[in-house]
């Protein structure tokens, strides 16, 4: 059980197992399990159109995969997902299925499939090690991170208190494949804070060396403008990632942020000539 979600198992004569996910007694989706061997199976899932938001799909798939291990005795659960189906790939990642490679043409002459899988002894995806393991498997070798600086009328910077690490951080996140840095920071603001803000320009690009188990990364930091401090009253948090937000001076932030972010904030305080940011050789609107 995961909050309001429960899983019910249905067995078919042909050996196919369906894990039905219900919320408050109503079916919200299902996951079909097709055994490939005694301890491995391939899964597919679908959800009712009215239950594709609010974190239901990834919570339901995570819960159903857990049942594959505990009730069906499986050691490996895998899925094959079209490369272009980013929504399904995002659900798989949040459910703890790690990207293992691309099977070219496996879905037809023009359809490549991404193979994702989770093992029974993988760290759970809602733990720090599980979260990092999924990202390191699913993302390019060099991560690219897009973040933004929001300031209020008192020149304080907005920092996010995160659910998956102790340190606070600037709003933003990891850039998806084929997504521009400016688009990514706007998307992350919408998904995690419920904000629709304009990206005003690039402040700095920073290379981040490997840190506490994370691979190295390139960090784009954008100017998101100055806003009334009351803007936080209109925010809607993504509960699985954002615990709270805080307006901070650099001194107030220092006990809660890593050294590299403290150094970056100091550099931004002295920044007078921001670098030029282009997409395809053209300034963003």
Is the residue at 193 inside a domain? yes
How far apart, in Å, do the first and last CA atoms of the chain sit? 46
Same-domain status, 171 and 59:
no
The number of domains in the chain is: 2
Q: What is the pLDDT of residue 149?
A: 96
Domain, as residue range, for 121: 5-138
pLDDT confidence band for 29 (50 / 70 / 90): confident
Mean pLDDT along residues 129-149: 86
3 state SS of 33: strand
Mean pLDDT of 252-268: 92
Query: What is the pTM assigned to this prediction?
Result: 0.56
Question: Tell me, what's the pLDDT at 217?
Answer: 84
Using alpha carbons only, give the angle 132, 137, 138 rounded to the nearest 5 degrees: 100
What is the per-residue pLDDT for 265? 92
Residues 119 and 194 occupy one common structural domain: no
Is the pLDDT at 207 greater than 90? The verdict is no
Per-residue pLDDT at 192: 93
Query: Which DSSP string do the residues of 112-125 spell out, in sequence order?
Result: -EEEEEEETTSPPT
In-domain check, residue 20: yes
Is it the case that residue 1 has pLDDT exceeding 60? no
pLDDT in tens, 166-187: 999 999 999 988 899 999 999 9
Here the CATH number for the domain that contains residue 200 is 3.90.79.10
100 with 13, same domain: the answer is yes
């Amino acid at each position: 059980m995961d909050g309001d979600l429960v899983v019910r198992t249905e067995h078919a004569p042909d050996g196919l197992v369906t894990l039905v996910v219900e919320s408050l007694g109503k079916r919200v989706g299902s996951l079909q399990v097709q055994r490939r061997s005694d301890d491995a199976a391939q899964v597919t899932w679908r959800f009712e159109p009215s239950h594709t938001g609010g974190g239901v799909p990834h919570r339901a798939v995570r819960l159903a995969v857990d049942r594959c291990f505990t009730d069906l005795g499986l050691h490996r659960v895998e899925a094959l997902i079209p490369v272009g189906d980013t929504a399904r790939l995002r659900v798989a990642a949040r459910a703890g299925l790690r990207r293992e490679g691309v099977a070219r043409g496996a879905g037809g002459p023009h359809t490549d499939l991404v193979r994702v899988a989770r093992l029974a002894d993988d760290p759970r995806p809602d733990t720090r090690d599980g979260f990092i393991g999924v990202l390191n498997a699913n993302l390019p070798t060099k991560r690219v991170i897009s973040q933004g600086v929001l300031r209020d009328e008192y020149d304080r910077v907005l920092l996010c208190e995160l659910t998956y690490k102790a340190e606070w951080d600037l709003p933003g996140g990891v850039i998806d494949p084929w997504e521009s840095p400016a688009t990514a920071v706007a998307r992350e603001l919408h998904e995690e804070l419920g904000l629709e803000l304009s990206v005003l320009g690039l402040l700095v690009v920073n290379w981040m060396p490997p840190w506490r188990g994370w691979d190295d990364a390139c960090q784009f930091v954008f100017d998101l403008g100055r806003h009334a401090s009351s803007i936080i009253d209109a925010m809607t948090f993504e509960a699985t990632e954002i615990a709270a937000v805080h307006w901070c001076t650099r001194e107030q932030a220092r006990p809660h942020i890593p050294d590299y972010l403290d150094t970056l904030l100091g550099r931004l305080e002295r920044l007078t000539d921001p670098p030029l940011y282009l997409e395809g050789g053209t300034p963003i609107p």
